[in-house]
């Protein structure tokens, strides 16, 4: 977990600062020591933990650094910010249903439809009704279902990046238009909560503060860790709930489209049988 490494680094920084070591020397000592890899891989670029460590290294006041590393060292974000298992299961389930749908559709298109068309040609008549629509537009259901599944997987990928704590650009088209506002707002709240110990020491302008920052500023230092945990746990549950509901809604849309496609598929499959009976 990415947060395990972050909290370990902060604990070690604080221990070395307590023993009188200079912060820059403590950073080199901790990050080059054996055993750091036990707490996870190095931070990826443009993630919240890497940005927090970068901001921490930019501070010059030893007392500030000591206070912040003490707070982060006692916190544990790992259990509060885990990707819901339902998101991973949703992708597997949709993939399975889609593969079955495309296989059946391919069998009908390449093995069954040519037989019916040749029978119509033998009777010197043209398909009508659902069969005529299917012959002329057989590719449309596949394209629509495929596009919806591609969008679902792209959204799942974006939500997965949220749980890897990526920092998204506000100019990202996909993030702006395809991710619901309540998911984005919940993620913004999480960033604000985990960043508070640092932002408090960086004299954030009053007009940029939200209700979360103002609330945590009023909390006594002894209770700050507890309040951060509580708020983060609640917001983590909100993010998981909003993500699950959104993915479920997308799955419902895809399944409705598949059911509609199956309706036209079956209608076009049975239509030639009845028409042949009338011709005979």
Supply the pLDDT for residue 84: 74
C-alpha 190/C-alpha 9 separation (Å) is: 21
Backbone angles phi, psi at 125, to 5 degrees: -140, 160
Within 13 Å and on the Cβ side, how many CA atoms surround 182? Answer: 12
Longest alpha-carbon distance in the chain = 99
Supply the pLDDT for residue 201: 58
Supply the pLDDT for residue 130: 66
Supply the pLDDT for residue 142: 82
Supply the pLDDT for residue 205: 58
**97, 255 in Cβ contact below 8 A?**
yes
**209, 164 in Cβ contact below 8 A?**
no
Supply the pLDDT for residue 26: 82
Supply the pLDDT for residue 207: 56
pLDDT profile of the chain (280 residues), mean per 10: 85 87 83 82 85 87 88 84 75 81 81 74 66 74 83 82 76 74 89 84 61 82 84 89 87 83 70 55
Supply the pLDDT for residue 204: 56
């Amino acid at each position: 977990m990415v947060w395990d490494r972050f909290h370990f680094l902060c604990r070690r920084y604080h221990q070395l600062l307590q023993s009188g070591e200079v912060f820059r020397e403590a950073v080199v000592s901790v990050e080059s020591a054996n055993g750091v890899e036990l707490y996870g891989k190095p931070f990826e670029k443009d993630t919240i933990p890497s940005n927090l460590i970068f901001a921490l290294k930019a501070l010059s006041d030893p007392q500030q650094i000591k206070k912040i590393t003490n707070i982060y060292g006692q916190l544990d974000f790992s259990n509060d910010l885990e990707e819901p298992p339902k998101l991973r299961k949703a992708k597997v389930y949709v993939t399975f249903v889609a593969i079955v749908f495309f296989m059946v559709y391919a069998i009908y298109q390449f093995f069954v439809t040519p037989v019916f068309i040749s029978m119509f040609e033998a009777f010197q008549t043209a398909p009508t009704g659902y069969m005529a629509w299917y012959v002329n537009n057989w590719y449309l259901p596949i394209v629509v279902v495929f596009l919806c599944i591609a969008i679902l997987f792209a959204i799942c990928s974006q939500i997965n990046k949220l749980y890897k704590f990526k920092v998204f650009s506000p100019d990202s088209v996909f993030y702006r238009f395809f991710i619901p506002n309540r998911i984005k707002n919940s993620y913004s709240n999480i960033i604000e909560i985990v960043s508070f110990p640092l932002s408090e020491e960086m004299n954030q302008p009053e007009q940029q503060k939200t209700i979360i920052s103002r609330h945590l500023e009023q909390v006594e230092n002894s209770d700050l860790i507890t309040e951060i945990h509580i708020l983060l746990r609640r917001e983590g549950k909100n993010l998981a709930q909003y993500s699950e509901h959104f993915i479920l809604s997308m799955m419902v849309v895809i399944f409705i489209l598949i059911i509609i496609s199956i309706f036209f598929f079956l209608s076009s499959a049975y239509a030639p049988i009845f028409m042949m009976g009338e011709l005979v």
